[in-house]
Structure 1
Amino acid sequence: MAVQLPPFLFPFSKKQPLLSSSSSPSLPILQRIMINFHPISCISTATATSSPARRTANYKPTIWDDSYIQSLPIEFMEEKYIDQRENFMEEVRYLINQQHNLTEQLELVDTLCQLGLGYHFDAEIKNLLSSISSSMKNINNLIENNNLQDFALLFRLVREHGIHNASILRLDDLISYFKKEEESFNLNNQLDVKGMLNLYEASFLAMEGEDELDEAGKIAMKHLKYHDRSLLSLQLVEQIEHALELPLHWRMSRLHTRWFIDAYGRQKNFNPTLLQFAKLDFNMVQNIYKIELQELSSWWRNLNVVRGELNFARDRLVENYLWTVGYTFQPELWRSRKALTKINSLVTTMDDIYDIYGTLEELKLFTNSIEEWNIDAAQQLPDYMKKCLTVLFNTMNDIASSFSKDKELDILPCLKRMWADLCKAYFIEAMWYHNGYTPTLDEYLDNAWVTISGICTLITTYCLSDDLTFEAIKSLEFYPPIVQYSSMLARLYNDLGTCTAEIQRGDVPKSIQCYVKEKNVSESAARDYIRCLIRNYWKKLNKEHALSSNYVKSFRKVLVDIPRAAQCFYQYGDGYGEPDGETREQIICIIIEPISL
C-alpha cells in the first residue's frame, strides 16, 4: 500500500507549557517535506507465511559481561577514608579563606576545579570570584601590571561559574589589553606564554557576537602552536599540547579530571594536600559509580531486552552509564544517573528499531502507541515491538513513581511527551530512508537535533532535580533555544564521528551527506563546514547559558555537558557503536581502575 505522511502534530514550539490545553503547533519541517517530497509506493512483503525483509547493522556484542561488573571490588568506603576526606576539605577551606595574592587565589580555584574538587566548594569559589571580579582595585592592578595571565584566567573562571551581575570585568578591557600584550609578546617568557594559553582557553567561552574574543583566541592559538617548545618547561608544553588538542571548555569534565590529576602531580610546585585529596575523592566517587553500575547491570540483565527478536539492537549499558557520568558526575546526582542510564539504553533500542529493523507500517503503529501511551494500542504490532513498549512503559512508570513518592510531584506527563517527540522525529527519518529522500541540510537539522535524544537527557534531568517544584513543572518549555543548541552540538559531533559507518550500512544521510548533495562540494569541505557550525553553536549555547540563571542548577550544567560528552564519544570515530577502542579505555580509567594513593 502507498505510504503517506502521517498527520502528526510536532511539538517543537519555542514556548509551549506542558499543561497547556491547546494542541501543539506543527513543525515547519512537515510543510517543507510536503512541498519537496513525493513519497513512492512501499509494498509490504509480509504474508501469512513470510516475514518482511529486515536489515541488520551487525553491531558487536557488549564487551562488558554482567558477571565481570558484579565482581568489581568496592573499596575506599571505610570510615578512615571518610574522615581523611573531611580533614582535607577543612584544610582546603582554610586555603581558600587565607589572604593570598591575586595570582595564588585564581590558580587555587582553577586547580580545585580541574582536579574535580570544585563541587565541594561551590559557594566558597563563587563568593571569592565575585569578590575579586567586583573590585575595581583588582581589575586596575591586572591592567597596570600587564598581567594577561591572571586577567584571562579570571575572565574564564567568572564565565565558567556564571558570575555576571556582580562582575565589573569587561570583555573590552581584556581585548584591549591583549592587543597591547601581543605587541611585546616574548616566547622566552613563560608568563607571556601562560597568558596566551589562558586567553586561548577563555576564547572558547565567547558568546554570539563576541567576534573580537574569537579572533584573539585564534591569534593566541597561532602563538602557542608555532613557538619553540624547547624554551619552555616540560609541564607547560604538556598543558599547551593538551589544550591545542581540545580546549578545556569542550572537554568532558570527569575525563579531564583523571588526566589533570596525573599532570598536576608532575608539576614542580604542586600542593601535596590537594593532590592526595583529589586522588582520594576520585576513588571514593568511583566506588559510587561501581555500586550504581552493578545495580543497573542486574536490572538490564533481568530485563533481557536485547535477546531473541531484539538481538539486532546495540547492547551498550556500560557505555550509557559513561554518558551519564559525563554530565552528572557529582555523587548527589545519583537519581539522574540511574534514570538516564536506563533511558539511554532504551533510546538505543528504539533508535535501532527505527533505523534498521522496523518496516514503515510497523513504525507508524509503533509511534502511535507511544504517543497514546497505551499498550492496548499495540496489539497489531509484532512481538519484538510489544516487548520494547512494555519495558518502556514499565520503566518510565517506575522512575516517575519513585520520584513522586519522594517529592510528591508527577513527572510522568513530561516523560511521556519527550518519548512521543523523539519517536515522531525518528519516524520522519524512517520515511526519508524508505522513500530514498535526501533532505536539505536545514531540513535534516530541524529534525536531527531531536533524534540525537538530547531532549531525553535534558527533560529527565530537569524533572529529577532535587529543587524541582510544581511551578517549575508547570512552566517547563518544550523546547527553548538553549535545549536546541545543546542538542544540535551533540548531533553535529555524532555526525562527524559516525556518518561514514552509518551510510555504509544504509542509514538515512547525515548532515555531511546532506550538505555534499545540496552544495555539490567534497566530503572534506562539508566536514569543515560542520566544524564551523559547531563553533557557532557553542557561541549560541554560551550566550543562552549566561542568560539561563533561572533554571535549576543541575539542568544548567547538563546543557553544556551534553555536547562535551558527545565530543568525547565521537572524537575518534563511533565510540558508541564500536566501543572497544578509546571508549573502553575511558570506562576503565573513570569507572573501574582506582588511582594509586
Structure 2
Amino acid sequence: MAVIFTKRQRRRPSVPLFKHPQPSSSFAAVAATEGIPRISCINSNATEQLLADRRSANYMPSVWDYNFVQSLGADYAEERHIERVQRLKEEVKDTLERENDLLAKLELIDAIQRLGLQYHFDNEIKKALQVIQNHSNDSWLFNDLHSTALRFRLLRQHGYDVSQDVFGSFTDKMGGFKESLVEDGKGLLSLYEASFHGLKGESSVDEANAFTCKHLNLLNLKGGIISSCMNRKISHALELPIHWRPNRLEARWFMDIYREDPNMNPTLLEMAKLDFNVLQSIYQKEVGELARWWLELGINETGFSRDRLVEHYTWSAMMVHEPQYGFFRVLLTKITSMITLIDDVYDVFGTLEELKLLTEFVEWTSFLALYNTTNNVGLEVLKARDFNPIPYIWRMWVNECKIHLKEAEWYHKGYNPALEEYLPSSVISNGGPMMLFCCFLMTTHELTHEAVNYVSKTPSVMYTSSLILRLNNDLGTSPDEMLRGDSPKAVECYMNESGASREAAVEHVKDVIWENWKTMNEQAFGDCPFPGMEAFIEACLNLPRASHSFYRYRDGHGVPDCETKDFIMSFLIQPAPIN
C-alpha cells in the first residue's frame, strides 16, 4: 500500500477569494523518512491508474483561496481597539452591578451572553444570578411568562437547580399551557427558548416545547399581528434555538436585532461589535498560519480527501472561542484535518485489504502526515502543560482506525447493522472523542495521569456530545452518501430494522438528538470530577452546536459552497460594521 504524503511546492496562483471547482490533481506518494516503515513509491502513471480503479466521493475542491486566507489583514489587532474594549467593559460592568430591577438585570445578562461577551463578565454574571436566585419567591416570577421563562433559562444555563414547577401558574388543570398565552409573542418565545434546557422526565418542559412550537409557527403565519422584528426573532428561533447555536454565530446575528430593541444599551452594542472584530483578527492570524502549514503538508493535493482547512479551523473556533485559547484552535485544526483524511481513506479510497494493512500500520507506526502531526501536537502539549500525551493520542487513533475498519468490513459484506449496534461504533469513528480529548489536553491547566486516563476513556459527557455530532452528521450527509454507495448511516439503520419510511426515520433520529440534548443538559454540570475542566465541558456543549450549523441543511462539510461559506464569511472574514 502506498499512501503517505509528501510536502508540495507552494503555489501562489492569482485567483479570487473563492476558487471555482476544478478537477483535483492526483496525489503523490513518497518513501517514508528514517524511523518510519518504508513503503515503496509509485510513479505518476501508476497513481493515475490507482485512482481510476477506486471509488470516489467526488468531493468538491476547497472554496477558499489559501493565498487570500494567508493575506487576511487582521485590521482590529491594534492595541487601541483592545484598550477601547476594556474601557467599554468597565462601563457595562458598572451598569450591570447598579441595575436593581431584576427583570432588567436578567435581560441585560441575556443580551451580554447573546452578543458573545459572557467571557468578559463571568464573575459579574455569577453574582447577579445569585441575587436573582435569592429572590425566587418574588411574585413577579409567577405572573409574567417572559420573566419566568427567562429566569428559568439563564439559571439552568449556569447550573442552578430550578424546578419546572415555576411554570405551574401558566398551565390548566390538565397540565397543558393556557390558550390565553397564545397572543403573547414575547412570552411564547422566551418559553420556547427555556424549553431546550429541560431534563429527561420533565413533562411540563416537554409540553412547553410542543405548545410554543405550534403557536409560534401560527404567529409567524399571521403576519401583521406581530412586528417584523419579532417575526425575525421567531423565525430564527424556530430554525435553531439559542442553546443549540454556536456563540459567535449567534453574536453576529444578534447584533443586528439588538439595535432594534427599545431597551438597547449603546455601550454594550459598541463593545460587542468591537470585541467581535478584535477576536476575528486573532482568528485571521491563526488561520493564515494554518494555511501555510496546510499547503506545505500537501494533503490538499491528494485528490480523494476533502480539502477543508478553513472549515476545520472554524469548527475549532466554535468549540473554544476565547482569545487565550489560540494554542487549542491551531492544534485542534491540525488534528481535525487528520480525522477527515483518515475518514476519507476508510470510507472511500482504500480497498479492504489496504485498510487492514493501514490499521496495523497505525497500531505500531502510521501515515507520515498523521505521524508527524500527532507527534508535533504532542510535543506542543508537553511544552505548554508539562505532560506527554502522545501515547494517549496514539491509543485513540488506533481505536478510531479499528472502528473505521469494522465499518468498512460491514460495507464490503453488505451488512446492515441495527441502530443500537451502529451508534457506539460510529460515535468513535466520527472523530468527536478525539477532538474533545485534545480539547481537554489543551485547555486544562494542570494535567494529571488520573484525569487524562479518565478523559481518554470517553466519559459520558464526551460520548453524548459525540453522539449528537454523529446524528447531525448522518442527517446532513446520508442522502449524498447513499447515492455514492456508502455504508448505511443512522437513518438507514433505523429504516432497515423497523421498516419505517425515510421521513419517519429522520424524525426518529431528530427525537434521539433531542433526548440526548436533555442528557447533555444534566451531564454538563454533573460529569466533572477533576478541577479546571470548565473549558473542556463547554467544548462538549459546543461540539454538537457546531454540528447543528454545519449539517442543518445538508452536508455543509462535504459541500461547503453555500450555507457553510456564508456563515464562515460572517464569522471569519467580514467584520461587524462599526457606526
* TM-score for both structures, normalised by structure 1: 0.84
Where does 1:400-439 land on structure 2 (aligned, <5 Å)? 400-439=378-417
Superposition CA RMSD, Å: 1.9
Whether the 8 Å contact between 1:575 and 1:583 is mirrored in structure 2 is yes
Larger deviation: 221-230 or 284-293?
221-230
* Equivalence for 2:435: 457
One of 469, 492, 498 as aligned partner of 1:490: 469
* Equivalence for 1:395: 373
SS at match of 1:205: coil
* Equivalence for 1:9: none
* Equivalence for 1:141: 139
User: Does structure 1 residue 252 correspond to structure 2 residue 249?
Assistant: no
User: Following TM superposition, by how much is the alpha carbon of 1:472 offset from its aligned partner in structure 2, in angstroms?
Assistant: 2.1
Larger deviation: 555-564 or 402-411?
402-411
Q: Deviations for 1:467-495, whole angstroms, at most 9, x for unmatched residues?
A: 23214224435122222211111111111
Whether the 8 Å contact between 1:69 and 1:294 is mirrored in structure 2 is yes
* Equivalence for 1:596: 577
Distance in 2 (CA, whole Å) between partners of 1:138 and 1:312 is 58
Where does 1:210-221 land on structure 2 (aligned, <5 Å)? 210-221=202-213
Distance in 2 (CA, whole Å) between partners of 1:178 and 1:78 is 54
Where does 1:182-193 land on structure 2 (aligned, <5 Å)? 182-183=177-178, 185-187=180-182, 192-193=184-185
Distance in 2 (CA, whole Å) between partners of 1:573 and 1:235 is 28
Change in 2 beyond 3 A, CA 1:343/1:179: farther
* Equivalence for 2:149: 152
Change in 2 beyond 3 A, CA 1:327/1:178: farther
* Equivalence for 2:166: 173
* Equivalence for 1:200: 192
Whether the 8 Å contact between 1:156 and 1:202 is mirrored in structure 2 is yes
Q: Deviations for 1:38-87, whole angstroms, at most 9, x for unmatched residues?
A: xxxxxxxxx9xx96932111111111122111222121122321221111
Distance in 1 (CA, whole Å) between partners of 2:141 and 2:339 is 51
User: Following TM superposition, by how much is the alpha carbon of 1:502 offset from its aligned partner in structure 2, in angstroms?
Assistant: 0.6
User: Following TM superposition, by how much is the alpha carbon of 1:221 offset from its aligned partner in structure 2, in angstroms?
Assistant: 2.2
Paired AA for residue 156 in structure 2: R
One of 506, 526, 540 as aligned partner of 1:547: 526
Whether the 8 Å contact between 1:400 and 1:410 is mirrored in structure 2 is yes
User: Does structure 1 residue 71 correspond to structure 2 residue 71?
Assistant: yes
Provide structure 2 residue ranges, at least 5 long, that are not aligned to the other structure: 1-45
Paired AA for residue 63 in structure 2: I
Distance in 2 (CA, whole Å) between partners of 1:63 and 1:222 is 39
Whether the 8 Å contact between 1:306 and 1:312 is mirrored in structure 2 is no
Q: Deviations for 1:273-293, whole angstroms, at most 9, x for unmatched residues?
A: 111111100000000010000
Distance in 1 (CA, whole Å) between partners of 2:136 and 2:351 is 65
* Equivalence for 2:445: 467
One of 232, 237, 249 as aligned partner of 1:243: 237
Whether the 8 Å contact between 1:55 and 1:357 is mirrored in structure 2 is yes
Distance in 1 (CA, whole Å) between partners of 2:420 and 2:179 is 45
Larger deviation: 472-481 or 344-353?
472-481
Whether the 8 Å contact between 1:414 and 1:459 is mirrored in structure 2 is no
Q: Deviations for 1:412-433, whole angstroms, at most 9, x for unmatched residues?
A: 1221122112111111111011
User: Does structure 1 residue 231 correspond to structure 2 residue 225?
Assistant: yes
Whether the 8 Å contact between 1:285 and 1:331 is mirrored in structure 2 is yes
Whether the 8 Å contact between 1:283 and 1:595 is mirrored in structure 2 is yes
Paired AA for residue 518 in structure 2: K
Q: Deviations for 1:326-382, whole angstroms, at most 9, x for unmatched residues?
A: 21111112111111111111111111110111111111121122122x25xxxxxxx
Q: Deviations for 1:528-550, whole angstroms, at most 9, x for unmatched residues?
A: 11111111111122122231244
Whether the 8 Å contact between 1:59 and 1:577 is mirrored in structure 2 is yes
SS at match of 1:547: coil
* TM-score for both structures, normalised by structure 2: 0.87
User: Following TM superposition, by how much is the alpha carbon of 1:138 offset from its aligned partner in structure 2, in angstroms?
Assistant: 4.1
Paired AA for residue 332 in structure 1: Q
Paired-residue identity, %: 39
SS at match of 1:73: coil
Whether the 8 Å contact between 1:569 and 1:575 is mirrored in structure 2 is yes
Whether the 8 Å contact between 2:392 and 2:456 is mirrored in structure 1 is no
Whether the 8 Å contact between 1:462 and 1:468 is mirrored in structure 2 is no
* Equivalence for 2:8: none
Change in 2 beyond 3 A, CA 1:184/1:497: closer
Distance in 2 (CA, whole Å) between partners of 1:123 and 1:289 is 25
Runs of 4+ aligned residues of structure 1 deviating over 6 Å after TM superposition are none
SS at match of 1:116: coil
Larger deviation: 200-209 or 463-472?
463-472
* Equivalence for 1:352: 344
User: Does structure 1 residue 298 correspond to structure 2 residue 279?
Assistant: no
User: Following TM superposition, by how much is the alpha carbon of 1:249 offset from its aligned partner in structure 2, in angstroms?
Assistant: 1.0
User: Following TM superposition, by how much is the alpha carbon of 1:178 offset from its aligned partner in structure 2, in angstroms?
Assistant: 4.6
* Equivalence for 1:86: 86
Q: Deviations for 1:377-411, whole angstroms, at most 9, x for unmatched residues?
A: xxxxxxxxxxxx11111111111112212221111
Distance in 2 (CA, whole Å) between partners of 1:415 and 1:175 is 49
Change in 2 beyond 3 A, CA 1:549/1:229: farther
User: Following TM superposition, by how much is the alpha carbon of 1:110 offset from its aligned partner in structure 2, in angstroms?
Assistant: 0.1
Where does 1:516-531 land on structure 2 (aligned, <5 Å)? 516-531=495-510
One of 548, 552, 576 as aligned partner of 1:571: 552
* Equivalence for 2:97: 97
* Equivalence for 1:120: 120
Distance in 1 (CA, whole Å) between partners of 2:136 and 2:499 is 54
* Equivalence for 1:14: none
Paired AA for residue 139 in structure 1: N
User: Does structure 1 residue 278 correspond to structure 2 residue 259?
Assistant: no
Whether the 8 Å contact between 2:381 and 2:441 is mirrored in structure 1 is no
Whether the 8 Å contact between 1:143 and 1:177 is mirrored in structure 2 is no
Distance in 1 (CA, whole Å) between partners of 2:444 and 2:521 is 25
Whether the 8 Å contact between 1:178 and 1:216 is mirrored in structure 2 is no
Distance in 2 (CA, whole Å) between partners of 1:119 and 1:592 is 22
* Equivalence for 2:422: 444
Distance in 2 (CA, whole Å) between partners of 1:521 and 1:82 is 56
Distance in 2 (CA, whole Å) between partners of 1:79 and 1:51 is 53
Change in 2 beyond 3 A, CA 1:433/1:91: same
* Equivalence for 1:583: 564
* Equivalence for 1:132: 132
